[in-house]
Structure 1
Amino acid sequence: MKAIVQDEYGPSHTLSLGEVPTPRPGPGQVLIRVHAAGVDYGVWHIMTGLPLVGRLGFGLRRPRNRVPGMDLAGVVESVGAKVTDLRPGDEVYGAGTGTYAEYALARPGKLARKPANLSFAEAAAVPVSGVTALQVVGQVTAGERVLVIGAGGGVGSFATQLAAAGGADVTGVCSTAKVDLVRSLGARTVIDYTREPLTGTYDVIHDIAGNRPLRQLRGLLTERGRLVLIGAEGGGRWFGGLNRMLAARLTGPFTRQRLDAPISLTRTADLDTLRDLIEAGTLRPSVGRTYPLAEAPKAVADLEAGNAPGKLVVTVG
């Protein structure tokens, strides 16, 4: 089968289109014929091997999985002997392994029925980013002042919509190219960080893949406000943004402010919730660009550059 492969850590040109054997599902696995796959910073971290501490999980000398990709939307091709709730022909979306390929493996607990009103490309934009936003925005209540830093990206576009749907007064922070998108997602105020500083006081701050100092962010919070750090960008080569997340966890017990650095896992229950919200018209994925499989390296490069609004998606076939 055709797939994007990588045999060494490095920039996007280390990714290339190649031929690999079609995987076979184990007893508790599902083989998906991939129609589309999302592009997220998890792919970038594994591609570059950064921060270096991440190689303990990714692979010390080279990526443990030659084929990158996590988000997917497609059709069940076959199932393992212990899989009872999915069958060939089912249209699904969720998280798998090596999804930048014609076929990919996934666990049933990370899949759900695809939203009926979405194309495969739109559905592939949802799983990792949508679940992350759902799990961290769930505590927002009506009337709270919420600041979403990175509101025009994958997770940020979902976080902005969920907070606005919950009745929060949302301020979105993004670059100039994403201002219109963020406003359309429900942000009452939009701050273009390339032209103006962050100001105001907020009950909740969602800092998505940011690198602003912890002290600066806490200065924007109310006395009992909540800061949620999502992603670990910036920082040095060894630990990257993990240093800031660790500092938040260590500081949290000694302040009235709540400082969180949650870890999100894609689960069927959350995918079901997102599907219900999407089919009800409450939530919609923001697909900035789509790329054919052969151009997946460019998609990851564009993600790193940060110029494309919304979520980037690789289409297969």
Structure 2
Amino acid sequence: MKAIMHETYGFPEVLQYGEIDKPSPGDNEVLVEVHAASLNAGDLSDLKGRPLFIRLLYGLHKPRNTKLGYDFAGRVVQTGKKVKHFEPGDDVFGDLSSFGWGAFAEFVCAPEEAMTRKPANATYEEAAAIPVAAQVALQGLRDKGRIKSGQHVLINGASGGVGTFAVQIAKSYDTQVTAVCSTKNIELVRAIGADYVIDYTREDFTKNGSHYDLILAANGNHSIFQYQRALSKNGSLVVTGGSGTQFFQALVLGPLLSAIGSQKMGAMLMRPSNRDLQFLQMLFKKGKIKSIIDRRYSLNQIAQAMQYLSEGHAKGKIIINIKSNIVKS
């Protein structure tokens, strides 16, 4: 089968497109023919071996796991004898971030808890856009942020992969949503439900005197003290992305500041959850969320796709169409 591999760290010259053996499912595994995959910031980190903890976890000088790709959507072609919830012909989508990666390939084997059924009203591309980005948004708002109806929620980085899902998920909880993005993305975030929009090229939301009950920082480069200034008295800050400095401050200083005040601040790393995949499937079926797709690439264009992702200007998600040689759109 065709697949993307990397035997050394680097970018993008180390990416290899070629033939590898088609996997066979174990007793508890499902073999899926992949129709579409999507890119995440974690794919870049895995490829480059940065930040340093990536190398400490996955190989100091070269990657122990040469596969790449978390998000996938496709059709079940074979199941292990102990698999209970799927059979050949089922359309599924899932997250391989805790199951060995490998979504950038024509076939993938994974345990059934890595996936759930694709929403019937979603294309493979739309389903492939969901897993990691939407789980980050959901867990950041619901679990870490304790979102409640009636709150005023701000999403920093509202036009990116996590941000576009965060705006929609926050609206599904009946909140007022302020989206922070650049000028060119204002209409996009309004179209997906934002009540208010702040153009960060013209206004700094941490200095305009407004206060928010919950801030989800999916992108950006503000100090934790700037965020603190924009929080309401009992507000919460959840940092899921952005600059390394922003994330590190939230991770280290957030708990300390939270312990001495009424505001709650911290960073969050997503924990893959089959229950959350099912919840997101339900939201998509009900029309509460939709996938915003910026560009599409074929599997042999993965280097171009990674390059575009690294530039940091994607609107929504970048899709890898495994089944056809599509030119970027």
**CA shift for structure 1 position 24:** 2.2
CA contact under 8 A between 1:4 and 1:100: conserved in structure 2? yes
Residue 276 of structure 1 is matched in structure 2 by 282
Question: Structure 1 residues 242 and 18 mapped into 2: Cα distance closer, same or farther (>3 Å)?
Answer: farther
CA contact under 8 A between 2:27 and 2:80: conserved in structure 1? yes
- The answer for unaligned runs of 5 or more in structure 2 is 324-329
Residue 250 of structure 1 is matched in structure 2 by 256
**Aligned partner letter, 1:166:** Y
Distance 2:61 2:214 in 1: 40
Residue 148 of structure 1 is matched in structure 2 by 155
Q: Which moved more, 1:123-132 or 1:207-216?
A: 207-216
Distance 1:51 1:285 in 2: 28
TM superposition score normalised by structure 1: 0.93
Residue 235 of structure 2 is matched in structure 1 by 225
TM superposition score normalised by structure 2: 0.90
2:170 aligned with 1:160: no
Residue 260 of structure 1 is matched in structure 2 by 266
Residue 211 of structure 2 is matched in structure 1 by 201
Percentage of matched positions with identical amino acids: 38
Cα RMSD, aligned residues only: 1.7
Distance 1:253 1:27 in 2: 47
Residue 189 of structure 1 is matched in structure 2 by 196
More relative contact order, 1 or 2 (CA 8 Å, 6+ apart): 1
Aligned length: 313
Question: Structure 1 residues 243 and 106 mapped into 2: Cα distance closer, same or farther (>3 Å)?
Answer: farther
2:314 aligned with 1:308: yes
| Large movers: runs of 4+ above 3 Å | 240-244
CA contact under 8 A between 1:79 and 1:86: conserved in structure 2? yes
Distance 1:158 1:2 in 2: 31
Please state whether the residue corresponding to 1:181 is helix, strand or coil.
helix
Residue 139 of structure 2 is matched in structure 1 by 135
CA contact under 8 A between 2:31 and 2:76: conserved in structure 1? yes
CA contact under 8 A between 1:9 and 1:63: conserved in structure 2? yes
Q: Select which of 165, 176, 194 maps to 1:169.
A: 176
**Aligned partner letter, 2:272:** T
**CA shift for structure 1 position 243:** 5.0
**CA shift for structure 1 position 232:** 6.2
CA contact under 8 A between 1:112 and 1:271: conserved in structure 2? yes
Question: Structure 1 residues 306 and 89 mapped into 2: Cα distance closer, same or farther (>3 Å)?
Answer: same
CA contact under 8 A between 2:180 and 2:198: conserved in structure 1? yes
1:22-171 equivalences under 5 Å are 22-96=22-96, 97-138=101-142, 139-171=146-178
- The answer for unaligned runs of 5 or more in structure 1 is none
Question: CA offsets, 1:51-76, max 9 Å, x none?
Answer: 11221222221222212100000011
**CA shift for structure 1 position 271:** 1.3
CA contact under 8 A between 2:240 and 2:247: conserved in structure 1? no
Q: Select which of 225, 244, 261 maps to 1:234.
A: 244
**CA shift for structure 1 position 148:** 0.2
